Amino acid sequence: MESSTPESSSKKPRSPEQAITLMVIGLVLLYALWMLRAQGPVSPPASPVSPIPATGLSPENIPLVTGEEPVSEIFTRAGCAVCHTIPGIPGANGQVGPALVLGTTGAQRLADPSYGGTAQTVHEYIVESVVDPAAFVVPGFPERTMPSWYGTKLSALALDKIAHYLESQTERAQVK
């Protein structure tokens, strides 16, 4: 006779999307903590003469990348490779989000009747997809999976570099 404990009967299994979302959030948080630790302790000023105005430099405003890094490092440090397959980026074999072959799929997405964004070019679409991921969710992929805060964690240079790289990627490049 099996006995059922309150603990075992009250837990509901998580869906694969929930588990992956939690894993991505955990990885991003671990990375942020690691980056903060790498900066070392912050010591207070020796003798402040006047109050220092707030500069907005808090952990949530520090970018994951500056854009000076090689494009493969930008994708890796930003966590894109966890969810997306990206041709030419080592380890970018994710399956939570669509393959990033925007040289092939970008124009199709802009023309999709369910597209709700404002981009006019594939380059603008890529930037918009990072800054406002809810503007268009590729059919067949889960909604609200891509973090909406990525746009605040990537510099303008990094976003531009990402867009330039992705708009040149095609399905042919993915097969190689």
Q: What is the mean pLDDT of residues 49-61?
A: 51
Total domains present in the chain: 1
Q: 85 pLDDT exceeds 90?
A: yes
Q: 82 pLDDT exceeds 70?
A: yes
Give domain status of residue 104, yes or no. Answer: yes
pLDDT of residue 171: 81
CATH number of 81's domain = 1.10.760
Confidence of residue 14 (pLDDT cuts 50, 70, 90): low
Give domain status of residue 8, yes or no. Answer: no
Give domain status of residue 72, yes or no. Answer: yes
Q: 53 pLDDT exceeds 50?
A: no
pLDDT of residue 20: 76
> Is pTM beyond 0.75 here?
no
Give domain status of residue 3, yes or no. Answer: no
Give domain status of residue 69, yes or no. Answer: yes
For the chain, the DSSP string reads -----HHHHH--PPPHHHHHHHHHHHHHHHHHHHHHHHT-PPPPPSS-SSPPPP---SGGGS-SB-S-S-HHHHHHHHTHHHH-B-TTSTT-B--SS----HHHHHHHHHH-TT------SHHHHHHHHHH-GGG---TTS-TT-S-TTHHHHB-HHHHHHHHHHHTT--HHHHH-
Give domain status of residue 155, yes or no. Answer: yes
